[in-house]
Chain A
Amino acid sequence: DTEVTQTPKHLVMGMTNKKSLKCEQHMGHRAMYWYKQKAKKPPELMFVYSYEKLSINESVPSRFSPECPNSSLLNLHLHALQPEDSALYLCASSQGPGDQPQHFGDGTRLSIL
């Protein structure tokens, strides 16, 4: 059982839609991460939240908007995505900022039509 839960597991959306990905952890971790993984490629970091504050944005386009409503929840709001944004989006958490290991959820498989 994964301790980081991501919903939905699959999402298909058009380029004009607005949708959100959700991530939840109840391990008391204070750092949470969003990664993007394309097929046959390694995960690539997008955002890091430390103590519910955005600490790292890896130059991600503004059509991806992260939000951390509380210490257990992490959202990724999506708007006006492009077909090349189709990928697996992974959420992870760690005990504290910079602590390892990071624990990953099973991801949301996103397809942009």
Chain B
Amino acid sequence: DQQVKQNSPSLSVQEGRISILNCDYTNSMFDYFLWYKKYPAEGPTFLISISSIKDKNEDGRFTVFLNKSAKHLSLHIVPSQPGDSAVYFCAAIIYQGGKLIFGQGTELSVKP
């Protein structure tokens, strides 16, 4: 049973445009969500997170939106840059108790 789903295996975006990566979850007990970026031959790097008490969190070019009623979160990257090309993992957890559950990942390609 896949509790965290990223239904798009890949996404291609033009440099300077917006990248939107989506993530759905099934467990309503999840109360903290994170996005990680992974380059080939490197470990996942933490990008941004959001608590379930918020619906938006912003950090520079990266914004995460949470829609609890739809059990959906998204990561917006504006403007997209070629260096953003990587695999992006969405992850969810029941804070302070559970284990981190990752989605399957979305490979983002930003073309110059």
Contacts and interface: CB of A to CB of B under 8 A. Distances in A.
Contacts of A45: 99-100
Interface residues of A, number: 25
Contact of B97 (A98, A104, A107): A98
Main secondary structure on chain A at its contact with chain B?
Answer: loop
A102 B95 CA distance: 12
B43 A106 contact: yes
Main secondary structure on chain B at its contact with chain A?
Answer: loop
Interface of B: 32, 34, 36, 41-46, 49, 89, 93, 95-100, 102-105
Contacts, number: 52
A100 B49 contact: yes
B41 A42 contact: no
Nearest to A103: B46
B44 A100 contact: no
B43 A2 contact: yes
Interface string A83-106: 000000010100001111111111
